[in-house]
């Protein structure tokens, strides 16, 4: 399908940047956004880049639809939730069989599937797609994960491949994920992994600044080195971490980091829902994702700065982050690198474990190799060594079902980092440093592979007061179902 003109519904940061990207590729864009400010700001950016003749706008849905050729192609870039439902309902009177709606919002997969059911009787193709990498990638080429009817997605893929990010070999970071809400679910998992990784890196940065007394420029140099070799090579978060440490305010030449409040509010103000949904899905499907969960809870606690101030006063400031004394600073920095990598990899392991569980539930038949491939460029969790490792795992273990720790290559990769991770966790705890995701990663790795957990005592107590039954030792592992014995 040759797509030459599209509608962009939502001209905010992501929708606006995608509009400029598509316009640069020769596509005409018709904008619709109830905010005139968004339209004016985008048109100014278009003018500044010589693309103003590619963009126009309409003030209502009817005129928007009349401005498009058949089949009509709509891109959504909207807040998650009811806005998307209202937009579909408003467009319905003007839609015809064969039209396409490409929802590029960060939307809940269940909402996507509900809208697909609304559009299906009309013959309208509703595609739900993750668009990764933030507004900068939206402008220059994002990673995309479209899901929905395979035939419909394949008709749009030639257009999407032109716009998508390219990996080191020039391959577009876009592929059909699966039926229904698979595309938005994959993006949710991406963002869950992202939260785990971001937390681990900020905890490492905290140890460097608060416990080791390192300056921003020194940390920037270390992050830059980590990004050029070893397990963290070409890792997006590490790379931008180096830039952030060096960024100064031109007004007074002070470091911008010194002015940033320690509040992450995107989950609490619900501008970002994917992290919350990941935790909910982990609970619903009974999948252990502690690195990701700890990261999310850390963010939630950080958001309520006022409450933290009151708790601090209540505790009279008795607990403070202290110093870590090391005899070999270079060796400890290397341990920090390995610990950060271990937490990064375990974020992937946990996210992909959750994805496999929903894959079995929904029977999406996901191609995990393709998923790793679209995360090689244009996305926040881009990490070349991890992608190389997991690509080989999925190539050699095509029918793997379950946790990737069961795969020798992954388990032993983490085993090599275990002493460093343990050392960092121990020293950080002694210094009262904040390490929720690093410590959760250490704990997860320990209990995931232990065959003699103290939970037998918990099971016994559950049976004692609730007659919940239990399995007997020596009877084999069994399934995670109610036991057959009771004697307490």
Of 296, 308, 305, nearest to 272 by C-alpha is: 296
Query: Strand, helix or coil at 233?
Result: coil
CB 442 within 8 A of CB 422: yes
Stated length of the chain: 488
Of 439, 201, 433, 200, nearest to 323 by C-alpha is: 433
- CA 6 to mean position of chain CA atoms: 27
Of 14, 141, 25, nearest to 6 by C-alpha is: 25
- Helix (H) and strand (E) counts in the chain: 19, 7
Rounded to whole angstroms, the Cα distance separating 42 from 57 reads: 10
Rounded to whole angstroms, the Cα distance separating 95 from 62 reads: 10
Residue 472 DSSP class: P
- Residue keyed to tokens 């909207």: 78
427 is catalytic: no
Residue 403's beta-bridge partner residues? none
Query: Strand, helix or coil at 69?
Result: coil
Q: Among residues 58, 107, 113, 187, which one is catalytic?
A: 187
Q: How far apart are the first and last CA of the chain?
A: 68
Residue 207 DSSP class: I
Query: Strand, helix or coil at 234?
Result: coil
Cα three-residue angle 403-408-413, rounded to 5 degrees: 95
109-119 helix and 182-206 helix, angle to the nearest 10 degrees: 160
Rounded to whole angstroms, the Cα distance separating 37 from 159 reads: 29
Q: Among residues 58, 194, 281, 356, which one is catalytic?
A: 194
187 is catalytic: yes
Rounded to whole angstroms, the Cα distance separating 37 from 14 reads: 15
Rounded to whole angstroms, the Cα distance separating 423 from 392 reads: 30
Q: Which residues are catalytic?
A: 187, 194
């Amino acid at each position: 399908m040759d797509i030459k003109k599209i509608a962009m519904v939502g001209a905010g940061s992501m929708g606006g940047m995608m509009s400029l990207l598509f316009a640069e590729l020769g596509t005409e864009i018709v904008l619709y956004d109830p905010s005139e400010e968004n339209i004016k700001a985008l048109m100014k950016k278009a003018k500044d880049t010589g693309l103003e003749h590619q963009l126009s706008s309409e003030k209502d849905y009817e005129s928007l639809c009349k401005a498009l050729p058949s089949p009509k192609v709509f891109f959504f870039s909207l807040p998650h939730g009811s806005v998307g439902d209202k937009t579909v309902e408003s467009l319905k009177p003007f839609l015809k069989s064969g039209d396409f709606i490409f929802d590029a919002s960060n939307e809940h997969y269940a909402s996507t599937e509900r809208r697909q059911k609304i559009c299906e009787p009309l013959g309208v193709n509703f595609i739900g797609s993750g668009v990764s990498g933030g507004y900068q990638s939206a402008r220059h080429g994002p990673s995309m994960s479209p899901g929905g009817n395979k035939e419909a997605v394949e008709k749009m893929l030639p257009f999407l491949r032109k716009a998508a990010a390219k990996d080191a070999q020039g391959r577009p970071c876009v592929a059909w994920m699966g039926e229904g809400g698979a595309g938005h679910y994959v993006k949710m998992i991406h963002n869950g992994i992202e939260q785990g990784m971001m937390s681990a890196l900020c905890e490492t940065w905290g140890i460097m600044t608060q416990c080791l007394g390192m300056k921003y420029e020194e940390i920037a140099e270390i992050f830059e080195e980590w990004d050029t070799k070893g397990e963290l090579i070409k890792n997006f978060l590490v790379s931008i971490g180096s830039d952030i440490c060096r960024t100064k305010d031109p007004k007074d030449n002070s470091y911008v980091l010194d002015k940033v409040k320690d509040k992450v509010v995107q989950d609490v103000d619900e501008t970002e829902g994917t992290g919350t949904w990941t935790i909910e899905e982990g609970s619903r499907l009974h999948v252990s994702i502690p690195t990701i969960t700890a990261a999310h809870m850390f963010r939630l606690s950080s958001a309520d700065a006022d409450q933290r101030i009151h708790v601090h006063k209540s505790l009279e400031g008795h607990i403070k982050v202290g110093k870590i004394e090391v005899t070999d600073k270079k060796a400890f920095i290397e341990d920090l690198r390995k610990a950060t990598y271990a937490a990064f990899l375990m974020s992937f392991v946990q996210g992909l474990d959750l994805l496999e569980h929903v894959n079995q539930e929904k029977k999406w038949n996901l191609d995990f190799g393709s998923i790793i491939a679209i995360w090689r460029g244009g996305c926040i969790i881009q990490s070349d060594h991890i992608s190389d490792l997991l690509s080989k795992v999925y190539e050699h273990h095509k029918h793997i079902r379950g946790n990737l720790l069961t795969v020798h290559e992954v388990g032993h990769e983490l085993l090599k980092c275990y002493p460093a991770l343990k050392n960092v966790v121990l020293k950080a705890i002694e210094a009262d440093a904040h390490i929720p995701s690093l410590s959760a990663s250490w704990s997860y790795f320990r209990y995931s592979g232990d065959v003699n957990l103290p939970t037998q005592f918990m099971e016994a107590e559950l049976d004692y007061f609730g007659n919940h039954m239990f399995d007997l030792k020596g009877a084999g592992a069994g399934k995670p179902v109610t036991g057959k014995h009771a004697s307490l």
